[in-house]
């Protein structure tokens, strides 16, 4: 019979410590970030969310400020291939359990030889997100020890999530399958320089 | 001392009944204790994120539920919410209530299935058989409302696809009554069993601070005593009008995680009963462009919902036009299944590996996508 | 003491479940019913397509909206217009084709028993007179895996492609 509360420490080491979410308004944290870093820029958003664009080299420090102020739930890390501008956009999603505000922290990196410092020292969950982005977009994360093969086994082609990767062509070349032409064709994204 | 250390490496999986899908683990064993664990995902990779960039906004509604097999409706809901946020669509209240009912039915089915999986992992094979019987009643209800048993393709941007059939609420109530009468039997079968007590109590414990640092969400976070539920702090659908309790336990071990799921089944039943009673009249879908001319203005939005496994999020980026520019799926198992498991498994016995994976309710399809 | 009695007696509580009907049903010998005993699947079920050829204007919207690219407009002997042909190896049964149809001619029936050995050849031409079509013979009740020949028109024969193309 399971009681309302039972002694759970009898078999394994119980990690101890309590957690109280901090409730600090997002405007205060934003002001602090903008004061600290001259290249940070706040972008207005509707609803319970805030957006800030920072430079590539200040991402870790900005995230550390947010973490210290209670924005300690690392939701996700998204990479967007902005092929027309020849850049990648990295979006760090943060959430505060106290203030209940979602923060989009965005930064841009070059598409040629993409590299950005790892943030796993600040947010541990980023380790898996960075590993996936390394594989899907080819972005390098110096400082991340686990940038090993993740989902794509025995993959020899280019990073598949890039906009100029033609998946239909790849399937036809590598698997010998004749793909029927889809009736609705997605737009072909090209680099700014290519005509 | 180091010379005496001999590790055996075994590859555990990729198929195991404890989890919903194929997912491998590379274990380094010292005797029967796990010394190091490395997860091997990728068996269910279907490139949905790439695929969604090549389908129109409405065609993607047919793709998203396939990302999570046991709890498919949260995907449709999060995808629809993100698009509604960018487009500024006001969802009719009736649609919100129908969505709530669907999501909670799906949560009951998923929680029952995960408890059944736990039963299978510890050798109580009656449990998976029984709960799958109850789940089948829920699938019958889904079939009558949505036209399909598993991939419902029912919630779409602007509302839901069809209205509720006439006698459907009565059937829902009957199924809920049936599940409620059966719940005590399951409790005595599973939680009063000495096997459950011995295997789950004190299994892979962690506290709230550790959980938040490692991105643990959902029932696993609530099992550490931290009262955090997306339905409560960022209410979507009709949850703000509905009275329910956020279930927590303070122990943070495997048994607490199972008990949180167990008690959430009761709360879900309570939510569905209220929603069926208070459901307002009116339209079940807002006016949206026809599917072939469905365009979303430029913008981006992250929408989160509470799935049976944790926080499920969709980050949708639009550059205008008929196709999404980027859709990123944040599955709860992406953190639970890789990094959290790799840190929880060392020090446990090999027989507990499947059980820890089961109590965290790792769902491989949403790691691989 | 009472604990011992409880522990001894409690296994026998399970005996009452002996009288209950099992969840398992033997399709197709037993019908699949919901909790109130009404037959399943209902009309909403998204199964095999039917198409009213007198209504169909061969606009091709169903083929355009299909997320799986399963529908192709094909030319048929003796017919002026092209008609949608569904490849069930690709179809995901979302029902968007039914929603997109402007003349309300394409429908999905509640029948879902179909089988073929080669998913690439599993094409099916929805016809107007499918209601007379004897679906129950599509799966042999004894072996559950054989397809028997049906009446005129639409035929899915094991291992053979659709003949009229």
pLDDT at C131: 45
Residue B172 phi/psi, 5° resolution?
Answer: -60, -45
Q: Is the pLDDT of residue C154 over 50?
A: no
CA distance B229 to B246: 7
**The pLDDT of residue C113:** 66
- Number of compact structural domains in chain C: 1
In a domain, C7, yes or no: no
The answer to whether residue A186 neighbours chain C at the CB level (below 8 Å) is no
Q: How far apart are CA B69 and CA B308, in angstroms?
A: 12
**A3-12, B97-106, C40-49: the lowest-pLDDT one:** A3-12
CA distance C89 to A190: 33
Q: State pLDDT tens for residues A125-178.
A: 888 899 889 888 888 888 888 888 888 888 887 888 888 888 888 888 888 777
DSSP symbols for B251-264? S-SHHHHHHHHHHH
Burial of C135 (0-12, 13-18, 19+ CB in 10 A): middle
Summarised one tens digit per residue, pLDDT across range C77-116 is 777 888 888 887 888 888 888 888 888 888 888 777 666 6
- Residue whose C-alpha is closest to residue B365's, from B70, B111, B67: B67
Given a cut of 60, is residue A13 above it in pLDDT? no
Choose from B108-117, C21-30, C124-133, C147-156 the range with maximum mean pLDDT: B108-117
pLDDT value, residue C155: 42
Residue of B360, B114, B117 lying closest to B256 (CA atoms): B360
CB spacing of C67 vs B59 below 8 angstroms: yes
Q: Is the pLDDT of residue C134 over 50?
A: no
Is residue C152 over pLDDT 80?
no
B9-50 per-position pLDDT tens digit:
888 877 765 566 678 888 888 888 888 888 888 888 888 888
Q: What's the CATH class of domain A26-152? A: alpha beta
Which residues of chain C have a CB within 8 Å of the CB of A186?
none
pLDDT in tens, A24-69: 888 888 888 888 888 888 888 888 888 889 888 888 888 888 888 8
Domain architecture of chain B: domains with CATH: 47-364 (1.10.645.10)
Cis check: omega of the bond before A85, within 30 degrees of 0: no
Share of chain C above pLDDT 90, in %: 0
Write the CATH number for C133.
3.30.70.3270
User: What is the residue-averaged pLDDT of chain B?
Assistant: 86
Cβ-nearest to C34 among B148, B171, B290: B171
Q: Which helix (H) or strand (E) holds B103?
A: helix B93-122
Sequence-distant (6+) residues with CB within 8 A of C37 are none
How much is the pLDDT for B7? 79
Reported as a single tens digit per residue, the pLDDT across A95-109 is: 988 888 889 999 999
Looking at residue B245, what is its pLDDT?
A: 87
**pLDDT at position A181:** 63
pLDDT band of A184, cuts 50, 70, 90: low
Q: Chains touching chain C at 3 or more Cβ pairs under 8 angstroms? A: A, B
Average pLDDT over residues B99-105: 91
C-alpha count within 13 angstroms, C-beta hemisphere, residue C93? 21
Residue C11 has pLDDT above 80, yes or no: no
Distance CA B286, CA B288 (A): 6
The CA-to-CA distance between both ends of chain B, in Å, stands at 44
Q: Show the beta-strand stretches assigned E in chain A.
A: 41-43, 49-53, 73-82, 87-95, 102-110
Q: Domain range for residue C31?
A: 17-138
CB contacts of A19 in chain B (<8 Å) are 207-209, 211-212, 226
Which residue from C minimizes the CA distance to B164?
A: C44
Is C151 contained in some domain?
A: no
Q: Decide if the complex's ipTM is over 0.95.
A: no
Residue C147 has pLDDT above 50, yes or no: no
Q: Per-residue confidence at A15, pLDDT binned at 50, 70, 90?
A: low
Q: Is residue C156 part of a domain?
A: no
> What pLDDT score was predicted for residue B314?
92
Q: What is the chain A residue with the closest CA to B318?
A: A80
Residue B34 and residue B353 in contact, taking contact as beta carbons nearer than 8 Å: yes
**pLDDT (tens digit per residue) in B134-152:** 888 998 888 888 888 888 8
B315: Cβ contacts below 8 Å, ≥ 6 apart:
A76, A78, A91, A93, B82, B300, B301, B302, B326, B327, B328, B330
pLDDT band at C138, cuts 50/70/90?
Answer: low
Mutate to test the interface with C, among A178, A184, A185 (most CBs of C within 10 A): A184
Rounded average pLDDT over C29-45 = 80
**CB-based contact B304 A75, cutoff 8 Å:** yes
**pLDDT at position C28, please?**
61
C23 contacts C104 by C-beta, under 8 angstroms: no
A94, A79 contact by CB (below 8 A):
no
Domain ranges (residues) in chain A: 26-152
Q: Would the pLDDT of B164 be above 80? A: yes
Give the model confidence (pLDDT) of B209-247 as tens digits. 888 888 898 898 888 888 888 888 888 888 888 888 888
DSSP A140: B
pLDDT of residue B315: 92
| pLDDT category of residue C1 using cuts at 50, 70 and 90 | low
| Residue A182 to residue C69, Cβ atoms within 8 A | yes
Candidates B144, B158, B190: best to mutate against C (most CBs of C within 10 A) is: B144
pLDDT digits (tens, 9 = 90+) for C51-70: 887 888 888 888 888 888 88
How much is the average pLDDT of B282-311? 86
């Amino acid at each position: 019979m399971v009681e309302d509360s039972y002694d759970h420490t009898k078999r394994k080491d119980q990690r101890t410590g309590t957690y109280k979410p901090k409730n600090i308004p997002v405007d205060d944290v934003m002001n602090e970030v903008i004061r600290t870093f001259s290249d940070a820029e706040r972008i207005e958003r509707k609803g319970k969310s805030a957006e800030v664009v920072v430079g590539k080299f200040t991402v870790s420090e900005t995230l550390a400020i947010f973490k210290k102020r209670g924005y300690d739930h690392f939701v996700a890390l998204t990479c967007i291939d902005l092929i027309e501008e020849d850049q990648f956009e990295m979006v760090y999603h943060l959430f505060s359990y106290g203030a209940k505000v979602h923060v989009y922290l965005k930064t841009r990196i070059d598409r040629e030889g993409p590299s950005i410092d790892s943030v796993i020292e600040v947010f541990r969950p980023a380790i898996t997100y960075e590993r996936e982005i390394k594989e899907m977009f080819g972005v390098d994360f110096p400082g991340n020890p686990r940038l090993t093969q993740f989902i794509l086994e025995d993959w020899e082609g280019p990073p598949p999530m890039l906009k100029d990767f033609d998946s239909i062509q790849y399937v036809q070349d590598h698997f010998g399958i004749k793909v029927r032409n889809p009736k609705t064709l997605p737009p072909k994204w090209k680099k700014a320089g290519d005509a | 001392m180091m010379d005496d250390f001999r590790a055996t490496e075994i590859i555990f999986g990729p198929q195991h009944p404890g989890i919903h899908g194929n997912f491998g683990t590379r274990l380094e064993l010292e005797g029967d204790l796990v010394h190091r664990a490395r997860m091997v995902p990728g068996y269910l990779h279907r490139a949905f994120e790439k695929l969604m960039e090549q389908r129109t906004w409405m065609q993607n509604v047919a793709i998203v539920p396939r990302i999570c097999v046991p709890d498919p409706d949260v995907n449709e809901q999060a995808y629809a919410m993100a698009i509604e946020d960018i487009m500024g669509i006001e969802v009719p209240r009736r649609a919100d209530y129908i969505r709530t009912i669907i999501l909670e039915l799906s949560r009951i089915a998923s929680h029952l299935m995960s408890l059944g999986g736990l039963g299978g992992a510890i050798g109580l094979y009656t449990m998976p058989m029984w709960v799958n019987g109850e789940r089948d009643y829920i699938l019958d209800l889904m079939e009558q409302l949505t036209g399909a048993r598993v991939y419902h393709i029912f919630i779409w941007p602007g509302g839901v696809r069809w209205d509720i059939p006439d006698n459907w609420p009565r059937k829902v109530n009957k199924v809920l009554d049936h599940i409620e009468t059966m719940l005590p039997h399951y409790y005595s079968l599973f939680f009063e069993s000495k096997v459950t007590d011995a295997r789950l109590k004190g299994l892979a414990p962690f506290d709230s601070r550790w959980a938040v640092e490692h991105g643990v969400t959902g029932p696993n976070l609530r099992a550490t005593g931290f009262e955090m539920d997306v339905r409560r702090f960022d209410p979507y659908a009709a949850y703000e009008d509905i009275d329910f309790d956020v279930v927590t336990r303070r122990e943070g071990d495997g048994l607490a995680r199972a008990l949180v799921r167990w008690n959430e089944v009761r709360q879900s039943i309570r939510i569905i009963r209220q929603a069926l009673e208070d459901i307002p009249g009116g339209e079940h879908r807002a006016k949206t462009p026809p599917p072939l001319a469905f365009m979303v203005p430029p913008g981006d939005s992250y929408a989160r919902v509470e799935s049976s496994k944790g926080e499920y999020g969709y980050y949708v980026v639009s550059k205008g036009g008929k196709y999404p520019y980027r859709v990123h799926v944040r599955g709860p198992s992406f953190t639970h299944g890789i990094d959290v498991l790799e840190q929880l498994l060392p020090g446990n016995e090999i027989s507990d590996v499947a059980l820890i994976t089961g109590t965290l309710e790792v769902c491989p399809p949403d790691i691989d996508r | 003491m009472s604990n011992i009695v409880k522990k001894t007696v409690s296994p026998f509580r399970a005996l009452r479940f002996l009288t209950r009907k099992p969840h398992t049903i033997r399709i197709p010998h037993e019908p699949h019913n919901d909790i109130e005993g009404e037959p399943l699947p209902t009309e909403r079920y998204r199964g095999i397509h039917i198409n009213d050829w007198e209504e169909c204007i061969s606009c091709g919207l169903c083929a355009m909206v299909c997320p799986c690219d399963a529908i192709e407009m094909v030319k048929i002997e003796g017919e002026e217009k092209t008609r949608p042909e569904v490849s069930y190896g690709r179809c995901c049964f979302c029902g968007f084709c039914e929603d997109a149809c402007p003349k309300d001619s394409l429908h999905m029936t509640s029948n879902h028993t179909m089988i073929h050995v080669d998913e690439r050849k599993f094409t099916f031409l929805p016809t107007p007179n499918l209601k007379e079509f004897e679906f129950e013979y599509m799966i042999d009740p004894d072996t559950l895996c054989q397809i028997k020949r049906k009446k005129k028109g639409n035929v899915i024969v094991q291992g053979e492609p659709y003949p009229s193309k």
